Structure 1
């Protein structure tokens, strides 16, 4: 995150501080040209490590420059702290052996030098551990984010599959009814027409069998009418569908008076959209009971040529309440979005309003989809 301290920034701060410390030694001791060349070389390679990823063997260059500078400027031995830090920071502690060996055997090691080298090694190791841990946390966050995206995609696919299944069930039911009407009612009507034609021919010839043909035609018509009544009776569900189902839900709401109005031709709304409108109304009325002190609720269902709109307005809540309109509304929004629609909520002076808008298939005047 921009502006936030991380392991790389901490390493850069340490490098700058190390170079600043060497510069102070050079000023205090008067290191001459050897100190200037060493500081310039370390500054260039430090800048290169900041901008690019250098191979680990470049750590030997830092140590070689420090050892050579030591021959002309003894305090240059403190510069070995820089490659020591880099070795521990990169996790390549083997590359720090030349610096440690030289610092140990060049002569009597002083306490300040020991403190500087130990500090450099520990700092590099700790900052590396910080970097590794941050990398693991970042990988875990990326994995969780990826899993969450996959779950959202799976949820969208399941919602779409649910809608497709409802549409296929509707088409299957239509085909079944068409076959039943054709096989039963259509067969009896066709037989009745043939019987009536035979009756007409026999009646004109005063044939005694005309009465029998008439009786057969009447029986065929009675059977066809019975098949038709049975088919219509089987079509009607036990529970009311369409706008009547919404009216039944509104009628069962007893917390306060609920006014329900319908505009437009509700027969144009397909079955799979009612499966979204019903829970939307139930959720809105449930939230009225839980989160508001409404005195009345206004429910409107508007069916236009291209959309169906359900609005639920209650006068008990005029300000949005954070966190209260959560999982239920969120799931309904997912279902509405899968159907190409949307669910929105607004809080204003009139009260809290929940609006569900779903698209309708464009139809021809005959009622068949274009």
Structure 2
């Protein structure tokens, strides 16, 4: 597997070249000078291997400054540390190096070469590494956005499936209620009227037509009851489902208050409100140490307001989870809004218009 060229690899190569050229230049016939070269190489390897704090580099320069008193070649050995400084974005040692250069340097061409090479190499590596870090940061940001979009897409697909299922259940519930209230009452009324008529006229029971009519009406009523029972969904919908969700939440005591005419709410209203309620209750479990949750549903002539408040939010709680972000966008798409307030309590307030908009 081929490894791409990176600023780190180039830095290793540059340090190796500098030390090789310095070894050729200073010709360390004196064992002390060669030992100094080895110690400098060891120090640089340690710096490359471990991410040490900046002031440790300052100890390198201080050591080289002390060694300059005894060895002129110590100025050469400053260059690799200088490259490390510049590649890490630490520019203040450049001034120290330049000052010591002009004070003690014999100003040879070789030292000039090493100094310029160190400055250029370290500067280029720093700029390169900065650009690489910026690119990586941008890539990480894009990955995070893609991840959030994937989560939102999954939520949208799940919501569409749930909304479709709830719409079918709500329509079945409406049809069952309509059959029970209208046709059921009419058939029951007709059957009761027939029985009252027969009770007032005992001789009518002798006619087979009355007996057949009574049997047919009784059969129709029984058949209607069976149809209503089969049509009505087993799963709660609308307000019943809303209250069931609250009652089934046993982790924290809840207090529910309701005002206004909730019969004006449609399937979409209930679906969105249930989503906000579910997300709010989930957030309480994850991010709060609540002892009570207050839930208030208010319906006016123009708006619907759902407020979910807990009494003990945790400090520095994030208000921008994927669930809440999606809920806000969902409400805004229907002409509503989602407000989040945190002080001594944490409050989620959802607003929806009675007349839904599609933005």
**TM-score, reference length from structure 2:** 0.54
For residues 2 and 193 of structure 1, what CA distance do their matches in structure 2 show? Answer: 89
For residues 111 and 58 of structure 2, what CA distance do their matches in structure 1 show? Answer: 20
> Which consecutive residues of structure 2, in runs of 5 or more, have no partner in the other structure?
232-359
Change (3 A) 1:67 1:22: farther
Matches within 5 A, 1:105-116: 105-116=103-114
> Which residue does the alignment assign to 2:22?
22
Give the aligned length.
218
Q: Deviations over 1:63-95 (max 9, x none)?
A: 344444445543343222122212211222212
For residues 57 and 31 of structure 1, what CA distance do their matches in structure 2 show? Answer: 33
> Which residue does the alignment assign to 2:56?
58
Q: What is the deviation of 1:9?
A: 2.0
- Structure of greater Rg: 1
The range that moved more, 55-64 or 143-152, is 55-64
For residues 166 and 206 of structure 1, what CA distance do their matches in structure 2 show? Answer: 53
Change (3 A) 1:61 1:19: farther
Q: What is the deviation of 1:184?
A: 1.4
> Which residue does the alignment assign to 1:343?
none
For residues 6 and 152 of structure 2, what CA distance do their matches in structure 1 show? Answer: 35
> Which residue does the alignment assign to 1:7?
7
The range that moved more, 121-130 or 32-41, is 32-41
Residue of 124, 127, 132 corresponding to 1:126:
124
> Which residue does the alignment assign to 1:42?
40
Q: What is the deviation of 1:2?
A: 7.5
Q: What is the deviation of 1:181?
A: 0.7
For residues 204 and 62 of structure 2, what CA distance do their matches in structure 1 show? Answer: 132
Residue of 96, 99, 102 corresponding to 2:100:
102
Root mean square deviation of aligned Cα:
3.2
Contact 2:18 2:114 (C-alpha < 8 Å) held by counterparts: no
**TM-score, reference length from structure 1:** 0.52
Q: Deviations over 1:241-284 (max 9, x none)?
A: xxxxxxxxxxxxxxxxxxxxxxxxxxxxxxxxxxxxxxxxxxxx
Partner SS state of residue 74, structure 1? coil
Contact 1:35 1:69 (C-alpha < 8 Å) held by counterparts: no
> Which residue does the alignment assign to 2:279?
none
